[in-house]
């Protein structure tokens, strides 16, 4: 069986999501310090996207893949 690389596993995906959240945190802080609301907005959107990775993967993508395999 083919061995999955770390970043292809769920833990790997969540690690990337975590890194994205940290980058978003830095962007929001920079936005708050400089009064740049665009930075805050982009940072916030990144947080939402990274947070939704797990439910989307588990309950939409994985389920769709499973259905395709069975179909």
Partner 1 sequence: MNIPINVFMWVMAFLPIAVLLVLMIKFQWGATEAAPIGMLITIITGIFLYKADLTLIAAESAKGIWNALIILLIVWTAILMYQVGDEAKAFLVIRNGMRKLLPNELLLVLAMGWIFESFLQGITGFGVPVAVGAPLLIGIGVQPMWAVIIPLFGQAWGNTFGTLGAAWDSLAMSAGLAAGSAEYISTAAWTALFIWLWNIIGGVAVCWFYGKGKAVKKGLLAVIIMAVIQGGGELLLVYVNTTISCFVPATISLVAILLLGRSKLYREEWSIEDSPIMNRKFTEQSSDEAPKDMTLVQAFVPYFLLSIITLVVLVVEPVNSFLGQFKIGFAFPETSTGYGYVNAASECFSPLAIFTHASMFLFVSSIIGLIFYKKHGWIKAGGVKRVFVKSISMTMPSGIAVIGLVIMSKIMDGTGQTVVLANGIAAVLGIVYVVFAPFVGLLGTFMTGSNMSSNILFGGFQLTTAKLLGVNSSIILGAQSAGGAIGSAVSPSKIILGTTTANILGSEGKVLKKIMSITIPATILIGIIVFVLV
Which x/- pattern over 3-42 shows residues binding partner 1 (rule: CB under 8 A)?
---x---xx--xx-xx--xx-xx--xx-xxx---x--xx-
Q: How many residues bind partner 1 (CB under 8 A)?
A: 31
**Phi and psi (nearest 5°) for 2?**
-70, 130
55 is an interface residue for partner 1 by CB under 8 A: yes
The whole-angstrom separation of Cα 69 and Cα 1 is 17
The whole-angstrom separation of Cα 56 and Cα 31 is 28
Instruction: Pick the closer one to partner 1 by CB: 22 or 67.
Output: 22
**Of these, 34, 58, 61, 66, which contacts partner 1 (CB under 8 A)?**
58
């Amino acid at each position: 069986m083919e061995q999955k690389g770390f970043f292809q596993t769920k833990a790997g995906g969540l690690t990337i999501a975590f890194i994205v959240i940290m980058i978003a945190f830095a962007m929001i802080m920079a936005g708050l310090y400089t009064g740049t609301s665009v930075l805050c907005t982009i940072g916030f959107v990144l947080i939402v996207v990274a947070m939704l990775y797990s439910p989307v993967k588990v309950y939409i993508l994985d389920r769709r893949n499973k259905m395709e395999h069975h179909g």
